[in-house]
Structure 1
Amino acid sequence: MNINHKGFTLVELLMTMTVFIIAIIIAGNSFNAILSHTSKLFRSEESNIEGVVGLEILRHDLQQAGYGLYTEPMGIDYSEAAAAPANAYNDAATNVPRPLVAGNNLAAVTDTSDTGPLFDILPSTDYLAIKATTVARNRTAQKWTYLRYTSNDVYPNRWVSNAENFATNDKVMLLRRQISTAGQAISVVPGTLPNAFYYPFSNTAFSHLVSLSADVYTVYGLDDGAGAPRMPFNRSDYFVARPQDATTIPAFCAPNTGILYKTTVNQSGGKLNYVPIMDCVADMQVVLGWDMNGDGMLDTYSNADGSAVTGTGSSTDVQTAMANAANNTSTITPNIRNSLKIIKVYILAQQGRRDPGYTSPSTIQIGDNAESSLTRPATAGMYDIAAAGWQNYRWKVYRVIAHPKNLPANQ
């Protein structure tokens, strides 16, 4: 029996090994490329998720602007933010509060109104102050009820779910709504304490009201802390800033970007409580849409402070409508309550980390085409990425649009 002992030659072995090595190299490079792409995609999606969550908080507050505010002078002084720059958006101590106050393309300024380290607001970004009872973070501010009455008693309604009811000594305010042919007037019913606009809540807190007649009385929560509230509403400010403590800024953010903050004005002292809602932000721009002639249709758009407009209205008309005095009664038109229909906020934010293999467009448009003169007018609505040295970063413009549902202009 013949047995063939012939095996592989050295050349055949070398060729086979070469093919396997080439295949392994190709597979390894492909795997590295997939890992790199997956990592970039993950970081990008991480930024997107952060953006969605943070901007939904902003959208909620914008839609709540004006909730629980009164329209008639109260006759009792109040205070808002205690220090610059937040105090630039305070209303006068005896005036009706405006649902929204905004600053346009701020100069670089250090925020001294916080409770911790100082913050530097990014230059040429906008500022938003939103006023409503619900924009605070405490549990009491998220609640409301109405008054019920019998022939000899007035008492607060209690909801089926106890979690929705006020706790004893929660600080609340009572508003009276009167409907007439002139419209709806909302006034504050002063508290029982001397010179107070609020009530410590209890089941008998409103028993001194002997008759409710045909008016509607609504109870809104302010605060659950100790001491007297300083304002008959709550307030949340939004702006882009860099903490002077650089360790609190993510290391992967592009140089000189900031953090978009939601801040609440502390009822007990007027300082700001900071909540970061988006990292690595380059810009925030605000555009406001108005019905200046009262026909129910949008006819004018303005920048944050009304100094630039497009449409049929003039900047003088818009700035008059935004002024403190114009919002001092419910019957003046135009004003913010009766004329503001839409708020647009544009956020330019970094996606993912620096990528040396990527080159961003040298300029990025902020806002819609027709709004180029309302966002960054010096550069026709364009943000100069190249001048900032950020071309190796990916950027996205987030667009938040809200129709404040508590303003008569949207009812």
Structure 2
Amino acid sequence: MRFKTDRNKGYSLIEVLITLFIVSLILSAAYFTYVSIFKSMKGESESVELQMEKIVGLELLRLDLEHVGYGIGKPLTIGTDYLIIESINDGKELLIRSTLNNTNNSTIGWVLCNNNAGNDPVLVELEAPNDNLVFVDNEGFVAGSVNDGLCPSDGILIGFPFDPASTGCGGTCSEIIYYLSNTNLPSHCHPQTYNLLRKVNNAPGGNPLLSCVADFKFTVDLDRNEDNVVDLRDQIIDNTLSPAELRLQLKKINVYLLVQEGGFNPDYEFKNYSSDSDGNYITVNGIKLYLPDSSDFKHYRWKVIKLSVKPMSIIK
């Protein structure tokens, strides 16, 4: 008996098309899953990078605010050169005066004189050697400055090291300025955001502390009647207070920063904002912080950071 076989039997065209369709669905699903995971990883990476940047930059800002007025004694006439905190450039920049610059170890520490003029201090607590010292007496008045490290006069004096390149307080205190600039803005930032920069004593340029900043504002809390209770909160620094009044009344310095979190995400829409004739903004404690002036800001995540710091070293 002879069996017949069909040597031409194979897959039909319909079976091949169905198989290709199923394979294409699987590949498409795998591709979109990969793209979704990649976007998520990229967003998380950018977010982590910004978080690390914020930790370092904000800590330096906090330390500068904490040392507002540090080492600045009272001259017989306290002029604007001794204004411990100031709003400049139409409120767009914050200027802080202090003998201590937290990025210069030679300005950190103090010395104690309790002997005759021209002698070495009896107690020295300096981070690094520095013979440039400004001295304050036990009533807070300036008793002179030296560049030889020796006590300038008799009695009990506290000496504060200073940078000889200082531009404030007659050359004995540093002027630290915080301001916004869009120079060298990272590519993941919205193009209408800024870097928060810090510069000391009018040095060229500045050191970036924080990127992707949409707005930056600062206020003060004041004790107007000097009863150790805050009477006015979140007052704009308008320089109407005299240097002496500001020393006595300043209780806290508040800094508000509106920053971008993560990168551009076309699938995300930011909704927590209000609008007025000046643009779109977020309000915190009555302070308006403005978002970038373009419609694509909605595809970024935004966060307000507030620092509220009590100056620890103001000589009253």
Q: What TM-score range do you get, normalising by the shorter chain? A: 0.7 to 0.9
What residue number does 2:4 align with? none
Q: Matches of residues 94-243 of structure 1 in structure 2 within 5 Å?
A: 97-103=82-88, 106=90, 126-135=92-101, 137-149=103-115, 154-157=119-122, 164-167=127-130, 170-177=131-138, 185-190=139-144, 198-202=145-149, 205-206=150-151, 209=153, 211-212=154-155, 215=156, 217-223=157-163, 231-243=171-183
Query: What residue is the counterpart of 1:350 in the other structure?
Result: 260
Change (3 A) 1:159 1:365: same
**1:71 equivalent in structure 2:** 74
Residue pair 1:236, 1:262 contacting (<8 A) in 2 also: yes
Task: Answer whether contact 2:64 2:101 (CA < 8 A) is retained.
Answer: yes
Give the total of aligned pairs: 298
What is the CA–CA distance in structure 1 between the aligned matches of 2:76 and 2:44, rounded to whole Å?
54
Q: 1: distance between equivalents of 2:132 and 2:118? A: 22
Q: What is the match of residue 201 of structure 2?
A: 265
| Seq. identity, % | 22
Aligned-partner residue type, residue 143 of structure 1 = G
**Structure 2 contact 108–161 (Cα < 8 Å) conserved:** yes
Specify whether residues 356 and 236 from structure 1 end up closer, same or farther in structure 2 by C-alpha distance, changes over 3 A only: same
Q: 1:231 to 1:382 in 2, by over 3 A?
A: closer
3-state SS, counterpart of residue 195 of structure 2: strand
- Structure number with the higher strand fraction is 2
Aligned partners of 1:103 and 1:304 also within 8 Å: no
- Structure 2 residue corresponding to 1:323, chosen from 231, 239, 242: 242
Aligned residue type for 1:234 = S
- 1:188 corresponds to which letter in structure 2? V
- Displacement, 1:224? 5.7
In the superposition, the TM-score normalised over structure 1's length comes to 0.62
Partner residue, 2:224: 292
Aligned-residue offset at 1:19: 6.0
- Asked whether the equivalents of residues 134 and 234 of structure 1 are also in contact (C-alpha less than 8 Å), the reply is yes
Q: Report whether the alignment pairs 1:250 with 2:190.
A: no
Judge conservation of contact 2:221–2:235 (CA < 8 Å) in 1.
no
Structure 1: gaps spanning 5 or more residues: 1-8, 76-90, 107-124, 178-184, 191-197, 307-318, 328-334, 376-380
Rounded to whole Å, the distance in 2 between the matches of 1:159 and 1:72 is 24
Query: Aligned with 1:73: secondary structure?
Result: coil
Secondary structure at the counterpart of residue 282 of structure 1: strand
Distance in 1 between the 2:117 and 2:230 partners? 48
Rg: which structure is higher? 2
CA deviation after TM superposition for structure 1 residue 390, in Å: 2.2
C-alpha contact (below 8 Å) 1:67/1:132 kept by paired residues: yes
Measure how far apart 1:386 and its partner are: 5.9
Distance 1:255 1:164, change over 3 A: closer
Secondary structure at the counterpart of residue 250 of structure 1: coil
Equivalent position to 1:46, from 32, 49, 52: 49
Q: Structure 2 vs 1, CA of residues 136 and 152 (structure 1 numbering), >3 Å: closer, same or farther?
A: closer
- Cα offset, 1:187, TM superposition: 1.6
- TM-score between both structures, scaled by the size of structure 2: 0.79
User: Structure 1's 69 and 394: CA in aligned 2 closer, same or farther, altered over 3 A?
Assistant: same
| Distance in 2 between residues matched to 1:253 and 1:39, nearest whole Å | 14
Letter of the aligned partner of 2:222 in structure 1?
Answer: W
Structure 2 stretches of 5 or more lacking a match? 1-9, 275-279
Asked if the contact 2:112/2:124 (under 8 Å) is kept, the reply is no
In the aligned structure 2, how far is the partner of 1:355 from the partner of 1:51?
A: 21
CA 1:152–1:69 in structure 2 vs 1: closer, same or farther (change >3 Å)?
A: closer
State the Cα distance separating 1:273 from its structure 2 match: 5.0
**Hey, what does 2:248 align to over in structure 1?**
338
**How far apart, in 1, do the equivalents of 2:117 and 2:97 lie?**
36
Distance 2:295 2:136 in 1: 50
